[in-house]
Structure 1
């Protein structure tokens, strides 16, 4: 099955999965699990990459 082209640049560090919930193994008193929500430090949780800086090169 063909893949569709993506129009938005994706963060290379998290591949677009900007946040994750990680279970610590502990449980609350009501029985639910204790989780930590972690966001990508590179894209600040947006999942999108910043545009690369453009260097101007002087041609002689």
Structure 2
């Protein structure tokens, strides 16, 4: 379960970063199968404090608990 959460958080962070650098790459994919990346970028932009907290908690759990 933690691996899936880690992959999901990294996907959100990566998509938000790519959209920050080159918004045209993800903005043209608002339909079809690639809409997943656009939605992840939007989650990363609008929920960034929550995503940041989740990333810190996940890093802490990976480094010190597992």
Q: Do these two structures clear the TM 0.5 threshold for a shared fold by scoring above it?
A: no
Q: Which has the higher helix share?
A: 2
Rg larger for: 1
Q: Which has the higher strand share?
A: 1
Q: Which TM-score band (shorter chain)?
A: under 0.3
Normalised by the length of structure 2, the TM-score is 0.22
